Amino acid sequence: MKCSILLLFVWISQFVLAQQRDPSIILYDKGNAAVARKDYRTADSLFTLSLNIAPHPDSYYNRAVCRRQLKDFKGYCLDLNSASLFGDKEASNLYSRQCIKLDTVYKKNGEKVDKTDFEYVEFITSYKYNTDFEYSKHDTSGICILSKTRVDNILYYTDCIEVTNSMYKGEIDSLINYIKTQTDFNKIIIKNDFSGNIFLVLKTDESGKVIEVKSSSFKKDEGINELIHILSNMPNWEPAIYNSKPVKFLHHLYVKYYGEVIEIRDIKADINNGSEFFSVVEKMPEFPGGPIEMMRFIQKTITYPQAAKEAGASGKCFLKFVINSDGTISDIQVVKGVEKCPACDAEAIRVVKAMPKWSPGMQNGKAVNVFFNLPINFQLR
């Protein structure tokens, strides 16, 4: 009888040799061979095919290299950002240095002043590969006064003191009640035994109409698709208001559902402590001792599910979670699970929950909440 041995790797710089049979790895290797020949256009296509099968930081990073050689600076930056979101520190450093510009401006009476004597501070992130930007204004205690962002040349406001949020009938509970009573969402997830927790970006226009809903999850089961459909086609919300005028608004929603339970939380600037949620920051969060120690912790802590052994199940579980400003972990979700192995996904979540506090991410000299992606590989041998 063959022994079942768990080989679990956190992908940092190289793909695992044990996975050569994986189509995404085969395409990745072919892409690297094309890079060695300096055939960057072919390599770009091969890395793209690999990513279509399984997203991975190395594929994003190597495709970024190709796109830089092909004079596609925007594609280069977007791929570096994608690699960063999966925890690639080198990609994060390159993206911060080459693709974005961070400005911190201290002001008093509308004029620039020294940070030792100011009324408010402005944080401005601009992008060198497009015209988008992110702007936030905070008082001396860190409370968010105004926040706005330009995406694809369209200006959206986000939650801060000077803006009244868009909201369905004015509150989250009304939104949850609408989903429960006016749609078949609960019936669908109960019938199919769906459960999940996902992050959604939802945009409303000046009339309060929901104009776009996007999920960060690669996993698109019927539950997620139905929820996006419901939110995209529901009655108008109350529009966001700024300076007594309706404006476009951008929500970051965290949704959790199972059985008859639906939880929705608006991830926003917290007016009590001025904290915000980021995807890429000047200093990314780090497991105590670094990536190698994280790999050792996972290898020591994880147990290969017996059901997965018996079924011969293996694959990659992609997790997304928040490293809070105090280093704790919250809001863990499965972005893409191990095929036909929910027990593997549950085990990956359990291990992440067991992790010690991380060194938090830093932005403008302050600890902040950061979204973090972690691929974990289950492989029987």
Tell me the per-residue pLDDT of 210-229, one tens digit each, with 9 for 90 and over.
999 988 665 556 778 888 99
Of 11-15, 311-315, 369-373, the least confident: 11-15
Mean per-residue pLDDT over the chain, rounded = 84
Type of residue at 113: V
- Report residue 3's pLDDT band, with 50, 70 and 90 as the boundaries: very low
Q: What is the mean pLDDT of residues 261-273?
A: 63
- Residue-wise pLDDT for 112-132, tens only, equals 999 888 999 998 989 999 999
pLDDT tens track for 68-118: 999 999 999 999 988 887 767 788 889 988 999 888 899 999 999 998 889
Class of domain 17-98: mainly alpha
How far apart are the C-alpha atoms of 323 and 326, rounded to whole Å? 8
Amino acid at 373: N
Q: Give the pLDDT score at 8.
A: 41
For 146-165, how does the pLDDT look when each residue is reduced to its tens digit (9 = 90+)? Answer: 999 999 899 999 988 899 99
Residue 198, pLDDT > 50, answer: yes
pLDDT computed for residue 226 by the predictor: 86
Question: pLDDT for 352-381, tens place per residue?
Answer: 999 999 998 887 677 888 888 888 888 766
pLDDT of the residue at 170: 77
Lowest mean pLDDT among 2-16, 136-150, 193-207, 302-316: 2-16
For residue 16, what pLDDT band results from cuts at 50, 70 and 90?
very low
**Closest Cα to residue 356, out of 377, 336, 327, 313?**
327
Task: Say whether pLDDT at 12 is over 50.
Answer: no
The sheet with strand 240-242 has its strands ordered as 163-164, 240-242, 245-247
Class of 291-378 per CATH?
alpha beta
Residues 6+ apart with CB under 8 A from 241: 163, 164, 247
**d(C-alpha 152, C-alpha 15), whole Å:** 34
**Other beta carbons within 10 Å of 73:** 14
Query: Tokens at residue 176, please?
Result: 């949850």
d(CA 276, CA 264): 17
Torsion of CA 283, 333, 147, 213, to 10 degrees: 140
Fill in the DSSP letter of residue 127: E
On the question of pLDDT at 273 being above 70, the answer is: no
HSE-up (13 A, CA, CB side) for residue 262 = 23
Question: Is the model more confident about 351 or about 20?
Answer: 351
Q: Taking a C-beta distance cutoff of 8 angstroms, is the pair 140, 120 a contact? A: yes
- DSSP per-residue letters across 224-245: HHHHHHHHHTSPPPBPEEETTE
Spell out the alpha helix ranges (H) of the chain.
23-36, 40-53, 57-69, 73-85, 89-98, 172-182, 185-191, 222-232, 291-301, 306-311, 342-353
Q: Can you give the residue ranges of every domain in the chain?
A: 17-98, 100-157, 164-275, 291-378
> pLDDT value at position 365?
72
pLDDT above 70 covers what percent of the chain?
Answer: 87
> Residue 1: is its pLDDT beyond 60?
no
